[in-house]
Structure 1
Amino acid sequence: MKLSNYGEFPADIPVIAEDELFLYPFMISPLFLSDENNINAATLAMEDSSLVIVCPTKPSRDGERTYDSLYDAGVVGSIMRKVALPDGRVKVLFQGLARAKTLYEVQAAPLIANVSILEATNIESLKVDAILEIVREKVRTLSSVSNYFPPDLLRTIEENHDHNRIIDLICSTVKLKKEQAYKLFVETDTEKRFLFLIDYLIDEIEANKLQKEIRSKVHTHIEKVNKEYFLKEQLKQIQKELGTDTARDEEIEEYRNKLEAKKSKMGEEAYKEISKQIERFSRMHPDSSDASMTQTYLDWSLEIPFGENAKKALKIKDVEAQLNEDHFSLKKPKERIVEYFAVKELLELRGLGNDSAGAILCFSGPPGVGKTSLANSIAQALKRPLIRIALGGLEDVNELRGHRRTYVGAMPGRITQGLIDAKKMNPVVVLDEIDKVSRSQRGDPTAALLEILDPEQNKEFRDYYLNFDIDLSKVIFIATANDVSRIPTPLRDRMEFITISSYTPQEKFEIAKRYLLPQELKKHGLKKSEVSISSPALKELIHSYTREAGVRNLRRRIADMSRKVARKMLEDGGIDKVSISLKNLKDFFDKSVFEIEKTTKIPVVGVVNGLAWTAVGGDVLKIESIRIKGKGSMQLTGSLGDVMKESARIAMSVVKTLIDSGKLKISPENIPLTFKEKEENIKVDSSEVYKRYDLHIHVPDGATPKDGPSAGIAMVSVISSILSGEKIRSEIAMTGEVSLSGDVLPIGGLREKLIAAHKAGMSKVLIPSKNYERDLEDIPKEVKDTLEIIGVSRVEEVLKHILVKES
């Protein structure tokens, strides 16, 4: 089919708009028409057996297909076939014949334009032939670095001598933008077309060479890694091109930013370790277990508050005021705490830091006396966060030092976690129940505590999980313990103990009135005006319903009472106030626990009042004895420990010495006689009394284990009484160990023991002379006012006070 078969040009022919690309004269192309104007134009051309021109749309057409939205150049050709498709579109087969240009619009719907043919010029010159060879060379070069030209097309370009046909073939193969294609399309000068095409081919060759070089480098790199890494790199590049899923890169960048922000505040070792782990994490596959473990490490380590300290200056006036506000009594402990912080404040004022930080404070005493609450008050006064680390039953040293990261579920130690929770490097850390730390096959936690609590070592405390040192020198450590003797000696040497002893009934009364009652009423939603408890009722609650050295159970009892009051107010309705007195006290409490039985003041043979220290305070310990005819043996019962059993044996030997020396008089009627001795009226020596009786010594409450070096003089007294038959004053209590030579030795826990004697209504207490000289200043005034305290140094003095001489 030739153009000459149709009419002369310029001519008015229908126009079809093409969205995608420029068509060329030699092409037979299927066109899918969905626009109504295009379909009508194609229909008109077939009905009139006329030609059509296919013009590309301009890039900024905004969906329009008007005359002005089209390029003024296109391909004139014929429609060979037209088929209607099921989806409403029309498919036509278009054959291009010649390049043409639209001159003006003739009709809008369907679009018809006046068209003229573009005639090529400068076709047969020698210069054009030479340029053609350069074009062919560039095409060959581009073919070697790209996949644009298949072999058949290359052969056609080499063998064809139609210059403009060659240009159109090349333009239809390479990826020309519409503006570039239009510029080449409308140019009629063949030489200029060739020169423009050469410029384009040179640019395309350079671009493809660069792409090939990049592909070669990527391929070389990929050969060194496994398939997984290759897929990850591909995914990363795709996501980068798309601008999506950059969360992981942002996360890594966030870690780096956090590290740089803290660089000036952390040590060089810590910076290197964390930086190394960030680099490792950036190279790991995000789904690997190592990546998860490393990310957890980075989360922990970058949460450590390097260089963050509480800003409030240390002032002992604040500490003293807070202690006095939160705690009643405890004069000595509060004085010692203030002295401790006075040293710290002086060091800070003189710029000496923690070089002479001194020993670590350890509050020791029975449960419920306020050890932990003292630490709370210190933290509040210093405006520092409080971290409580419970050491009770701790066996694994890694709990303190941190687990090595090779273990599954590894975590930093409790000390590091405490700093992270506190968000400061100088918190108050309470090491609770340090006496209950256990040693096991998983290490000795006390060894780690030695480093933690030593001011000379804790500047570089190494956490196994973090793998770098942390400065703990600014942390204020406060330990608590119930039994100091259970703390290992090396650890004990690093601490200074502040003993918090039992409270007297009057002190408990004041604590309950000032602190416990208001606090518990508030917790249970009650107002002060809604509940009143009389002083006698509160004292009875303390005396008969609690058995403790501190006030923990007293707080629980008040909480019980508050719950019952709250229920009563809701059930009865309309009650504005609940009053509790001695009369209705039993309505609010289940049962009483009689802590210490009151003395009867009736002298008894073979029963003595000893004083004992227990974990819940002091107690009056009655020791009973009976004699049975026998051969001088002694039986001990009452779940006694080895120390008390030895005290009983020593006491027996001491009493025998007293009898033999005549210092303890034995009435003849107390010595059992044989029939012959009675008949012949034979005088028997006093020493026969301990040879002819078996003694049974018993300490009641046999289910409770008892031990300790303080029952010696009580054992001497009860044995002396039962052998001599003389009564013991029941209003006298005693405590003290005895030596084999009869000396009274000092004991511990005097405060608790004297408080117990005071509660039991004793009138007189015998204590060792050394305790009398050094410990009486620690005894509450109310106890000293009601008790006659006597210091004794020999067992003879004890017997003189305790035994009732029959007239």
Structure 2
Amino acid sequence: MELENYDSFPQQIPLIIEEDIFLYPFMIAPLFLNDKVNIDAVEDAINNNKLVLVTVSKQGHENSRKKEHFYDVGVIGNIMRKVSLPDGKTKILFQGLAKGKITDFNEETPSFAVVDLLQPKEFQKEAVDSIIEVLREQVKKLSRVNPKFPVDLIKTIEENDDAVRIADLISSVLRVKKDDAYRLFSEVDVEKRLLDIIETIKKEIEALRIQKEITQKVNSKIEKTHKDYFLKEQIKAIQKELGADNQKENEIKSYKKRLKKIKEFMPKDGYKETKRQIEKLSRMHQDSPDASLLQTYIEQVLEVPFGEYADAKISVANVEDQLNKDHYSLCKAKERISEYFAVKELLESRNIQSQKSRGTVLCFVGPPGVGKTSLANSISQALQRPLVRIALGGMEDVNELRGHRRTYVGAMPGRLIKGLVDAKKMNPVMVLDEIDKLGANHRGDPTAVMLEVLDPEQNHEFRDLYLNFAIDLSQVIFVATANDARRIPAALRDRMEFIEISSYTPNEKFHIAKDYLIPQELEKHGLKKSEISLSNTTVEKIISEYTREAGVRNLRRVFSKLFRKAVKKIVSDESIDKVVINTKNLKNYLDNPIFEIDPADKKSVIGVTNGLAWTAVGGDVLKTEAIKLKGKGGLSVTGNMGEVMKESSKISYSVVKLLIDDKKLKIDEEIIPKTPKEIEEKVKLDPSEVYKRYDIHLHIPEGATPKDGPSAGITMATTFASILTNKAVKSDVAMTGELTLTGKVLPIGGLKEKLIAAYKAKMKKVLIPRKNFQRDLDDIPYEVKKDMEIKPVDTIEDVLKEALI
């Protein structure tokens, strides 16, 4: 014992509490420590050249250092080496020297304990020697039945006469619980300790004998080569001996009971498939890899809400009330939705249910923020049906909709079936969001699945690849949303009825802000109406100068920003009862204004024309510019234009050239550059020389924004005519329309958004194709038609007559 180099006992020394095993005085063992108190104890021992006591925590109290939560005996020893590991742990090499007992411990200094040596009592050598002989025999028996027993231990205890050392050696290799290990470790009566060890060995021999018998029973049932299966059967046999293996049987009974309950609502092939899989699972071992996959499949099928339907009857009155309550304007959209559900109400009241009567799928088309998804929310509330939203934007994997085949790892049902499971009803309102952004690649085309889902002739037998049987989706009310209907494949467009939701006018935005956005944001920010003063003029200024959108999403964000700052003022200063926000102090709450559309120029300019464009976020006014440079009649176009617009520019240029050749556009000879010889000889030039002696450069700002589409023909032609004739274009006139080579003006799309953009830019006159004037003018808001002259044109001559000064 190497204790003479240290202070005498009892003494206060650092305390290390281990989690698992008792160490013995003869051991040199590595310990891995991550507890800060243990690490502090190690540091103190090394710095002050002290011994340490290593003891063990009690079961269930591994992270506690309360006195009653660890054993009061352990091994006194020294730290031979310490290494700090990268993960924050500390590794030490510990050498045991003697057993110790804690005589005093203060929880306020948990790194230390007062320790005394644990000395064995005096004993009669003859009696103990007899017990040791019996113990040696028992150890030999244990080594014969336990192949993992260390063989060299038998030789060690044969050659050793020290009873305490023999007891320590044998105790260290026995597999016992913590409390039993503590009893064998702390016993100071050597004779009693040896008898306890003999008793423990006998119990272990008996346990190994029973285990061997169980092993032999299992071996008669299985092949010896299947090692993994053998081990699992061994566990099963042990559980059977203990009478604890009935969990699987209970689960199978539960599955059969749930299946029987929904049998009448399930398709026949679905019932047969599910029943077959349950029976297959009952025959399969619960630890088999296939059992887990099979159980997942059965649970997924049983979660589908077969036979569960929302009971509320369809009522057009409820739908109209909810739509009017939640949305301002959108009259045509509301009217079409009401008609759609009027048909459904009539069919329901007359109990007509056939494939032909299931109707079309509604698709709301319009810029972001105009209320497409919220219309679907209103429908869901009015019908008292759960709402399921499936975001289709960017989806490229067809299996996300149709489900994965069960042969794949991690296979799951498609989003449509998951939507039914989440809704817990078979007739929810399902919103197919951003259906125009579906993509196709090597993993399939999700559009093809949508063709089946949205077709009333097919969706009553939609087959999910994971479930592997048909599901009736005909009771689901599908509502799609899209920003641009042109991006939806033609076959899919054919299955839907489009309801256009256009940009809001400033007047509509004002009413939406007053009636919906401001009250909602006040409530969200915990403000009372009396605590905020926001005048109508201020709201109008916010709409005109601080938002750039077709819808009202950014407008909501602006009000949210205002009210956040108002809340901060009220919270910071208790004396403030009311926050006043007006046009004078608005800049204190918001950044600099963002002008949505540049207003019309006051001065008319040569070669600059106001064109109207449609974008995914509403209409816009694009100024088309041109300059002429001395050259040979070349044309260059810039402004990030697409192929359609580039062709339009060539057509427009040719049309203007034709007008000049036919003398329908008068050219002042003075603007045509002449050579000195022509000046001297007073040569009279042909009008066509004006486009032969100049190069034209056409540009549409902003250059970084991509532009394309068939509606800029008359705008470009007017710009060419202006620059070649040296006549200015009226700055308060805007136009939209496509040209043919013969000079006819063709109709265009997106007229409402374009006219709203012109209205916001304060244009006085707008030129549009006559066909659009005849068929689309009813859709234009009243304030737009009232404050702006909308003039129909048939040919390019009509356009130039109205546009050029």
TM-score (norm 1): 0.71
Q: In 2 relative to 1, CA 700–228 (structure 1 residues): closer, same or farther, beyond 3 Å?
A: closer
Q: Contact 1:627–1:696 at 8 Å: present in 2 too?
A: yes
**Ranges in structure 1 where 5+ consecutive residues have no aligned partner:** 1-84, 87-214
Find the aligned partners of 1:309 and 1:724 in 2 and give their Cα distance. Answer: 71
Aligned to 1:293: 293
Letter aligned with residue 534 of structure 2? I
Aligned to 2:326: 326
Shift of 1:712: 0.7
Name the SS of the counterpart of 1:626 in structure 2: strand
1:417 matches 2:418: yes
**Ranges in structure 2 where 5+ consecutive residues have no aligned partner:** 1-126, 129-213
Aligned to 2:19: none
Name the SS of the counterpart of 1:733 in structure 2: strand
1:602 matches 2:607: no
Find the aligned partners of 1:376 and 1:694 in 2 and give their Cα distance. Answer: 57
Equivalences, count: 590
Aligned to 2:769: 768
Aligned to 2:191: none
Aligned to 1:312: 312
Q: In 2 relative to 1, CA 285–574 (structure 1 residues): closer, same or farther, beyond 3 Å?
A: farther
Aligned to 2:396: 395
Find the aligned partners of 1:393 and 1:402 in 2 and give their Cα distance. Answer: 17
Write out aligned runs for 1:143-182 (5 A): none
Output one character per residue of 1:210-258: Cα deviation in whole Å (capped at 9) or x when no partner.
xxxxx9xx99993799787788778767756755342222111111111
Aligned to 1:477: 478
Find the aligned partners of 2:491 and 2:720 in 1 and give their Cα distance. Answer: 42
Aligned to 1:259: 259
Shift of 1:641: 1.2
Find the aligned partners of 1:685 and 1:304 in 2 and give their Cα distance. Answer: 81
Find the aligned partners of 1:590 and 1:756 in 2 and give their Cα distance. Answer: 23
Output one character per residue of 1:97-133: Cα deviation in whole Å (capped at 9) or x when no partner.
xxxxxxxxxxxxxxxxxxxxxxxxxxxxxxxxxxxxx
Shift of 1:288: 2.2
Find the aligned partners of 2:222 and 2:548 in 1 and give their Cα distance. Answer: 79
Letter aligned with residue 263 of structure 2? K
Find the aligned partners of 2:581 and 2:595 in 1 and give their Cα distance. Answer: 20
Letter aligned with residue 222 of structure 1? K
Aligned to 2:588: 587
Shift of 1:532: 2.3
Letter aligned with residue 769 of structure 1? R
Output one character per residue of 1:40-84: Cα deviation in whole Å (capped at 9) or x when no partner.
xxxxxxxxxxxxxxxxxxxxxxxxxxxxxxxxxxxxxxxxxxxxx
Find the aligned partners of 2:578 and 2:788 in 1 and give their Cα distance. Answer: 40
Shift of 1:600: 2.8
1:706 matches 2:701: no
Letter aligned with residue 546 of structure 1? T
Aligned to 2:672: 671
Shift of 1:285: 2.0
Q: Contact 1:222–1:230 at 8 Å: present in 2 too?
A: no
Output one character per residue of 1:702-733: Cα deviation in whole Å (capped at 9) or x when no partner.
11111111111111111111111111110111
Q: In 2 relative to 1, CA 802–235 (structure 1 residues): closer, same or farther, beyond 3 Å?
A: closer
Find the aligned partners of 1:726 and 1:222 in 2 and give their Cα distance. Answer: 103
Write out aligned runs for 1:712-727 (5 A): 712-727=713-728
Name the SS of the counterpart of 1:598 in structure 2: coil
Output one character per residue of 1:375-422: Cα deviation in whole Å (capped at 9) or x when no partner.
000011000000000011111111011111111111100000000000
Aligned to 2:27: none
Find the aligned partners of 2:624 and 2:373 in 1 and give their Cα distance. Answer: 36
Write out aligned runs for 1:388-467 (5 A): 388-467=389-468
Letter aligned with residue 794 of structure 1? T
Output one character per residue of 1:120-152: Cα deviation in whole Å (capped at 9) or x when no partner.
xxxxxxxxxxxxxxxxxxxxxxxxxxxxxxxxx
Q: Contact 2:366–2:483 at 8 Å: present in 1 too?
A: yes
TM-score (norm 2): 0.71
Find the aligned partners of 1:540 and 1:643 in 2 and give their Cα distance. Answer: 38
Q: In 2 relative to 1, CA 782–223 (structure 1 residues): closer, same or farther, beyond 3 Å?
A: closer
Letter aligned with residue 490 of structure 2? T
Output one character per residue of 1:641-662: Cα deviation in whole Å (capped at 9) or x when no partner.
1111111111111111111111
Aligned to 1:119: none
Name the SS of the counterpart of 2:253 in structure 1: helix
Q: Contact 2:644–2:708 at 8 Å: present in 1 too?
A: yes
Find the aligned partners of 2:555 and 2:284 in 1 and give their Cα distance. Answer: 59
Q: In 2 relative to 1, CA 670–289 (structure 1 residues): closer, same or farther, beyond 3 Å?
A: same
Aligned to 2:69: none
Find the aligned partners of 1:228 and 1:636 in 2 and give their Cα distance. Answer: 75
Letter aligned with residue 353 of structure 2? G
Find the aligned partners of 2:219 and 2:660 in 1 and give their Cα distance. Answer: 108
Shift of 1:693: 1.0
Shift of 1:350: 2.1
Comparing 363-372 with 518-527, which one deviates more in the overlay?
A: 518-527
Comparing 292-301 with 779-788, which one deviates more in the overlay?
A: 292-301
Letter aligned with residue 455 of structure 2? D
Q: In 2 relative to 1, CA 229–803 (structure 1 residues): closer, same or farther, beyond 3 Å?
A: closer
Letter aligned with residue 324 of structure 2? N
Name the SS of the counterpart of 1:259 in structure 2: helix
Find the aligned partners of 1:631 and 1:259 in 2 and give their Cα distance. Answer: 84
Aligned to 1:613: 614
Name the SS of the counterpart of 2:696 in structure 1: strand
Name the SS of the counterpart of 1:363 in structure 2: strand
Aligned to 2:783: 782
Name the SS of the counterpart of 1:254 in structure 2: helix
Aligned to 1:222: 221
Letter aligned with residue 314 of structure 2? L
Aligned to 2:690: 689
Aligned to 2:164: none
Name the SS of the counterpart of 1:665 in structure 2: coil
Aligned to 1:626: 627
Name the SS of the counterpart of 2:265 in structure 1: coil
Write out aligned runs for 1:346-385 (5 A): 346-355=346-355, 356-385=357-386
Task: Report % sequence identity.
Answer: 63
Name the SS of the counterpart of 2:605 in structure 1: coil
Write out aligned runs for 1:723-802 (5 A): 723-802=724-803
Name the SS of the counterpart of 1:576 in structure 2: coil
Aligned to 1:494: 495
Q: Contact 1:639–1:703 at 8 Å: present in 2 too?
A: yes
Letter aligned with residue 608 of structure 2? V
Letter aligned with residue 596 of structure 1? I
Output one character per residue of 1:253-307: Cα deviation in whole Å (capped at 9) or x when no partner.
1111111111121111111111111112222222222111111112111010001
RMSD (Å), alpha carbons: 2.1
Q: Contact 1:370–1:550 at 8 Å: present in 2 too?
A: yes
Find the aligned partners of 2:735 and 2:562 in 1 and give their Cα distance. Answer: 37
Q: Contact 1:651–1:715 at 8 Å: present in 2 too?
A: yes
Q: Contact 2:505–2:756 at 8 Å: present in 1 too?
A: yes
Find the aligned partners of 2:450 and 2:704 in 1 and give their Cα distance. Answer: 36
Aligned to 1:335: 335
Q: Contact 2:219–2:230 at 8 Å: present in 1 too?
A: no
Name the SS of the counterpart of 2:370 in structure 1: coil
Name the SS of the counterpart of 2:682 in structure 1: coil
Name the SS of the counterpart of 1:600 in structure 2: coil
Find the aligned partners of 1:441 and 1:540 in 2 and give their Cα distance. Answer: 50
